[in-house]
Structure 1
Amino acid sequence: MNFVSTRGNVDKIGFIDTVMMGLANDGGLLVPEKIPQIPAEKLNAMSQLTYQELAFEIFSYYVNGEIPEHELKELIEKSYATFRHPEVTPVKKVKDQMYVLELFHGPTFAFKDVALQFLGNLYSYVAKKTGESINILGATSGDTGASAIEGVRGKEGIRICILHPHGKVSKVQELQMTTVHDESVLNLAIEGTFDDGQRIIKELFADVDFKNKYHLRAINSINFVRILAQTVYYFYAYFQVNKEQDAETVNFSVPTGNFGDIFAGYLAKRMGLPVGKLIVATNENNILEDFIRDGIYKPGEFRSTYSPSMDIQVASNFERYLYYLVGENPSEISSLMDIFKREGKIVVNEEQLRQVKADFAAHGVVGEECLQTISKYYTETSYLLDPHTACGVAAYEVCNGPSEVCVTLATAHPAKFNESIERCDIKQTFPEQIQDLFNKPQYLEVIEADKEEIVRHLKKLFN
């Protein structure tokens, strides 16, 4: 198993080098040279595995022996021992043929824990093997930051800096990041949007000299390991639902901001999992819905919504999908990304748009629709959705066929977004771990969304 860049100017590299490179040195994203195919008989055998056993099977296709089997199993066991549910990502039936996949049982109550607990342990494993210090730099629209910090805090040889948009994340998300008092953790609240932070991060990683000098490593979903770890729960959910439904295919509705979680589903489908529709659920920042409908990818005006973790205009992982859409042609990807940088949009042809519509359905949840969905499901089923999962359920209602089985990815615990839950006149009880956050002091610095200012802080942390 080798990995290549979507833009074609990185030599083929192995799994560990892919983890450490994060963003490809040519500015592209790393993808497997060839997507492994899992035959039907192997899928049938895998359906009986625990979550941890399933993760080992799927990871093994990509790790390709670079981590000894017993050590890979130990990394997986250690990563998911922190989850509050024995199944790690349990599937709950909400009503006939409609399920939610609960991805919020990790330490920070968000789906990002599934990947970042593993990636944190993997970085620690590599640091111990090589003796190399690891400096992690990431941007967050809310959940990645807390999950990343929780994944690496206290691990020898690792320091981490997280950028988040000041005042544009929920209070619980902010507290989860900024109440960590550790000399190896730096929280920078930028006066701007997540897109501003993500752009600066990409610029810093694209500066290969700076990246190498300061041993910068990626925690955002530009790192392929994030995608790989998230692929596992699509397999797990399909197997659990199919034991009850015996469905030929299962649809997935996915709250989507940076296109990483939905791309993990696309990868699972390409590997051979019988996935039907992949439903892209967005909010008013609906650049992806526009693309799936019209074939035009063009960022619009940023909007703050009830689902702040999806308040993203430029989706990092979209380039990975484009790579497969254009037939794995890196020169065409380089050309498209140059056009995007120059003109601010990407337009695909009619044949490509037909393929996009075959791969995805989409619905942008506008205005009060998110809150109405929370209220409706709480009243009718007593199941409390967080606002991002509510967008996924609203998209399921629009895009799913009457006889089709669908799993909506429940991406966060509702306690993380009480601002939206309160608007529905619903009172919820906070888990103890979240309630305790309100009594802790915060540690953060508020700065302008300026690359040089951020570099100045990084040098102080990493030197």
Structure 2
Amino acid sequence: MKYISTRGQAPVLGFEEVLLTGLATDGGLYVPETLPHYSLEEIRSWRELPYDELAYKIIQPFVAEFIDGDELRAMLKDTYAGFAHKAVVPVQQIDHNEYVMELFHGPTLAFKDFALQLLGRLLDHALQKRGEKAVIMGATSGDTGSAAIEGCRRCNNIDIFILHPHQRVSEVQRRQMTTVLGDNIFNLAVEGNFDDCQRMVKESFSDQSFLRGERRLVAVNSINWARIMAQIVYYFYAALNLGAPDRKMAFSVPTGNFGDIFAGYLAMQMGLPIDQLVIATNKNDVLHRVMSQNQYEALPLEHTLSPSMDIVVSSNFERLLFDLYDRDGAAIAQLMKDMASGQATLDVAKLDKARIVFDSACVDDDETCATIRQVHAETGYLLDPHTAIGVHAARATRRDMRVPMITLGTAHPVKFAEAVQKSGLESPALPHHLADLLSRAERYDVLPNDRNTVHAYMVERVFG
């Protein structure tokens, strides 16, 4: 399988190069040239497969030239064996024909473990084969950083630098990053917001000269295709457990960067019968404004009780736009230039294509807390604030009550004690493997929001 850039001017690459490259040289994002498509009969035959075997069926076509089938099977088995729930992705019912897909049973209690536990293994495999070492540079609004560190902490060929906005992630999120004390792990608290961190990472990938040509930068944010690929699997898994492909499914996805919901869109393109995809946003609602009003405008960032979604620029939306604009790279390059200027509108016909399957909603902090309270009162089940946004958006936009509605449960509520307490409820205890988290030693450095300072810090630690 070959991969092409959404902006049409970068080399066509194989999976290994895409894994190690991240952003394309033309500034675009890599996507498969073609997608595998499965018949309903073939999807039906997967119903009895455990999670790792289903993952093999879905992922293998994307990586066939990169890794032997038996090696991939073993890697996937090892990746998901460490999850705390035997089902890996249990599904919890919260109302009639309404469910939460629990994606928080990995080592850092967030959905990003699904992709990043696998990504670390894939990267180490590629670098070992090449005899190379690499530098991971990533930005996090909360969950990506800890999941990347956990996924890559044992990698022999990687130094990892994670930037998070200083004092703008929850204490549990911060400590899950800063208490991992490996020699190859560096946490940087940047005096800015997530978008400042993300912009610094993007600029660093565009000009890697600060690494003197001796190392390459590798992306772990959702611009890396391998992350999207790994997330496709759980859409199939949950749907199969609720009667697909003989029933259509609907999914509500709390999203800031559009990567997780784009994986659902790909699952649909690959043959999974999906009737509706709900884009659930907090007050940082650029995606909702685009979908509902055809208004793209980068407004100032708002700090909310759902910090992992406090994002103004949704990088992965470009991948969907590429499909909506019939894979016209030149059109996407111009559109992204318009968006970078701060304002843009989409071609109405293209937006109408998206609206066939996508709906959207914006949920504020008060509505988030009200949803946490309501679901807990009705079921005894405790939602984290991001999942609560997904549930609220699902109920506000649901098209057909006969179609199962599955909200992606993106994080464990213990990670967001402030939101739980503001909902009038008691925050749960940390799971056993994290019980002593708040007393563990931390290590991180606070740096100004300045790219040159960050680069100097990285160079000193990589090269001594």
Q: TM-score range by the shorter chain?
A: over 0.9
Contact 1:51 1:236 in 2 (8 A): yes
Residue in structure 2 matched with residue 339 of structure 1 by the alignment: 338
Residue in structure 2 matched with residue 73 of structure 1 by the alignment: 73
In structure 2, distance between residues paired with 1:134 and 1:429: 37
In structure 1, distance between residues paired with 2:58 and 2:462: 34
Say which SS state the counterpart of residue 396 (structure 2) adopts.
helix
Contact 1:172 1:416 in 2 (8 A): yes
Q: Which moved more, 1:128-137 or 1:144-153?
A: 128-137
In structure 2, distance between residues paired with 1:181 and 1:35: 40
Residue in structure 1 matched with residue 216 of structure 2 by the alignment: 215
Tell me whether 1:238 sits opposite 2:239 in the alignment: yes
Residue in structure 2 matched with residue 6 of structure 1 by the alignment: 6
Deviations 1:165-197 (A, max 9, x none): 111111100000111112211100011111111
RMSD in angstroms over aligned alpha carbons?
Answer: 1.3
Q: Which moved more, 1:164-173 or 1:393-402?
A: 393-402
Tell me whether 1:257 sits opposite 2:271 in the alignment: no
In structure 1, distance between residues paired with 2:286 and 2:350: 17
Q: Which amino acid aligns with 2:392?
A: A
Superposed displacement of residue 214, structure 1 = 2.7
In structure 2, distance between residues paired with 1:187 and 1:102: 28
Alignment of 1:142-181 (within 5 A): 142-181=142-181
Q: Which moved more, 1:314-323 or 1:397-406?
A: 397-406
Q: Which amino acid aligns with 1:361?
A: D
Superposed displacement of residue 215, structure 1 = 1.3
Alignment of 1:179-218 (within 5 A): 179-207=179-207, 209-210=209-210, 213-218=214-219
Superposed displacement of residue 223, structure 1 = 0.1
Runs of 4+ in 1 over 3 A off after TM superposition: 208-213
Superposed displacement of residue 461, structure 1 = 2.2
Q: Which amino acid aligns with 1:158?
A: I
In structure 2, distance between residues paired with 1:29 and 1:208: 17
Alignment of 1:40-51 (within 5 A): 40-51=40-51
Deviations 1:242-292 (A, max 9, x none): 17xx86310000000110000000111111110111000000000100000
Residue in structure 2 matched with residue 311 of structure 1 by the alignment: 310
Residue in structure 2 matched with residue 377 of structure 1 by the alignment: 375
Q: Which moved more, 1:317-326 or 1:209-218?
A: 209-218
Contact 1:294 1:353 in 2 (8 A): no
Residue in structure 2 matched with residue 461 of structure 1 by the alignment: 461
Alignment of 1:421-436 (within 5 A): 421-427=420-426, 428-436=428-436
Say which SS state the counterpart of residue 293 (structure 1) adopts.
helix
Deviations 1:102-132 (A, max 9, x none): 0000000000000000001111111221211
Residue in structure 1 matched with residue 387 of structure 2 by the alignment: 389
Say which SS state the counterpart of residue 49 (structure 1) adopts.
coil
Residue identity over aligned pairs, in percent, reads: 43
In structure 2, distance between residues paired with 1:251 and 1:189: 38
Deviations 1:351-380 (A, max 9, x none): 112112113100100130000100111111
Residue in structure 2 matched with residue 358 of structure 1 by the alignment: 356
Residue in structure 1 matched with residue 123 of structure 2 by the alignment: 123
With normalisation by structure 2, the TM-score equals 0.97
Equivalent of residue 368 in structure 1, options 366, 369, 389: 366
Residue in structure 2 matched with residue 271 of structure 1 by the alignment: 270
Deviations 1:365-404 (A, max 9, x none): 0130000100111111011000000000000110113333
Residue in structure 1 matched with residue 82 of structure 2 by the alignment: 82
Alignment of 1:19-38 (within 5 A): 19-38=19-38
Q: Which amino acid aligns with 1:368?
A: D
* Total equivalences in the alignment: 460
Deviations 1:338-362 (A, max 9, x none): 2222x31221122112112113100
Residue in structure 2 matched with residue 324 of structure 1 by the alignment: 323
Residue in structure 2 matched with residue 441 of structure 1 by the alignment: 441
Contact 1:25 1:208 in 2 (8 A): no
Residue in structure 2 matched with residue 132 of structure 1 by the alignment: 132
Q: Which amino acid aligns with 1:403?
A: R
In structure 2, distance between residues paired with 1:426 and 1:371: 10
Q: Which moved more, 1:375-384 or 1:345-354?
A: 345-354
Say which SS state the counterpart of residue 304 (structure 2) adopts.
coil
Q: Structure 2, unaligned stretches of length 5 or more?
A: none
Contact 2:124 2:156 in 1 (8 A): yes
Q: Which amino acid aligns with 1:257?
A: G
With normalisation by structure 1, the TM-score equals 0.97
Q: Which amino acid aligns with 1:220?
A: N
Residue in structure 2 matched with residue 282 of structure 1 by the alignment: 281
Contact 2:369 2:385 in 1 (8 A): yes
Q: Structure 1, unaligned stretches of length 5 or more?
A: none
Q: Which moved more, 1:228-237 or 1:200-209?
A: 200-209
